[in-house]
Amino acid sequence: EVFLVESGGGLVKPGGSLRLSCAASGFTFRDHSMNWVRQPPGKGLEWVASTSTRGNYIYYSDSVRGRFTISRDNAKDSLYLQMNNLRAEDTAIYYCARDRPYAVVTDDYYFYMDVWGKGTTVTVSS
């Protein structure tokens, strides 16, 4: 069975740092691009960042670019999110989500988030 388990959340002061981890199991991690998606308390979903299978293509939302860094270690089946200079508005549940490729035409793939972890909670408060 496929699992994603996030960890590393906690309470941090504004300006502080945290490193989130997502441990994957039950599938070949290196074959899948991965995402971080967050959800502020009582609010909707916001995509944060994504990385390709080898980490050579990386994308960020405008709200975190320059402060957060997504990375992966395929040897350890793990995804990471280094969060620096945290702000109160970064308070959220952070989910990691696996991309599954779907061939729409030859050599052209659509990626959809088919597996999600249970999330880890980050609270930024003084």
Residues that bind another protein (CB under 8 A): 37, 44-47, 59, 61-62, 95, 97, 102, 104-105, 108, 110-114, 116-119
Which CB sits closer to another protein, 27 or 47?
Answer: 47
Least CB distance to another protein at residue 17 (A): 23
Cα Rg for the chain, rounded, in angstroms?
A: 14
Least CB distance to another protein at residue 66 (A): 15
Which CB sits closer to another protein, 1 or 126?
Answer: 1
Least CB distance to another protein at residue 73 (A): 23
Distance in angstroms (rounded) separating the CA atoms of residues 36 and 2: 17
Which CB sits closer to another protein, 61 or 82?
Answer: 61
Buried/exposed 27-63: b ≥16 CB within 10 Å, e otherwise: bebeebbbbbbbeeeeeeeeebbbbebeeeeeebeee
Task: Report residue 50: phi and psi, to 5°.
Answer: -145, 155
DSSP single-letter state for residue 17: -
Least CB distance to another protein at residue 75 (A): 26
